[in-house]
Amino acid sequence: MKTRHIVRAVTVALVLGLASAAHAQPSDQKFSIDFAIGWDNSISGNINSSAIGAVNNQTVVILTNQYEAVYGTGLHFTVGGGYMLNSNTEARATLSFQSADSDLATLGDYGASPLYAQYSDYKSTTLDVGLRRYGRVNTNLRPYVEGTIGLGWIDDISADLVAPQANLRADANNFYQSTTAFSWAVNAGLLLGINPRFGGFAQLGLRYTSGLAEVDNFPGTGLETINDHSSRWTLPFLVGVRVGF
């Protein structure tokens, strides 16, 4: 995908820039702010689950579609801030913005016709807070681990449904309502100091986001379960820069 190529280019540029920088001692600054770009690799979670039912006297079969199949690896940006409680422990807050374009999905069958869905884009804003623990205090290359909890605000998701052979086109407005979702994550990374105020980092994590708020679009059809299992597990990867003050 184009977004993945963009992130890879930024990653390479950052690594080359850091590799060419002179070694520096760790900063004694208490506060920091950082900016990062990355993507989420989905490992589980369904934008729709499977079901069998009937609509307009036509048998409908719905197949499972995972987030990865519909949205791929969504690009996201983060802005974070931290306060050093001591030489190796930092309290942090991070604001994340994510957007992912959807691909046309094969939803299942409507009678004798294939049924397709075009979902609206996935957009979310998340605020996470947590603690980060650094290792190797007396060096400019510092590994770290962190744990966070947070709340995310996810835009509502609609879907255009099309069954070409049945000459059917329908809008499933608010397939999911806008949602306030709970999340938690564990992350591990490396922070490379370039000078006492400036550094770069790369980070990989494991993240859980709770399910989306469903809408009763299909009462009495047997398709009520297609909104089940919409919680997600992802492997987010970030590269960014950090400024201390």
Residue with tokens 């603690």: 131
Q: How much is the pLDDT for 18?
A: 42
Q: How much is the pLDDT for 26?
A: 46
Q: How much is the pLDDT for 5?
A: 52
User: What fold characterizes domain 2-47+74-103+122-156+181-244?
Assistant: Porin (2.40.160)
Burial 60-78 (b: 16+ CB within 10 A, else e): bebeebbbbebbbbbbbeb
Q: How much is the pLDDT for 20?
A: 42
Q: How much is the pLDDT for 173?
A: 80
* Rounded alpha-carbon distances, angstroms, from residue 151 to 12, 182, 215, 221: 31, 5, 21, 33
Q: How much is the pLDDT for 19?
A: 44
By the 8 A CB rule, do 178 and 124 touch?
no
What global pTM score does this model have? 0.84
pLDDT digits over 104-124, tens only?
999 999 999 999 999 999 999
Q: How much is the pLDDT for 220?
A: 76
Spans in the chain with pLDDT lower than 50: 1-3, 7, 10, 12-26
DSSP string of 47-101?
Answer: EE--EEEEETTEEEEE--EEHHHHH-S-EEEEEEEEEEEETTEEEEEEEEEEEEP
Cα separation of 244 and 242, whole Å?
7
Average pLDDT, the chain: 88
Cα separation of 226 and 8, whole Å?
35
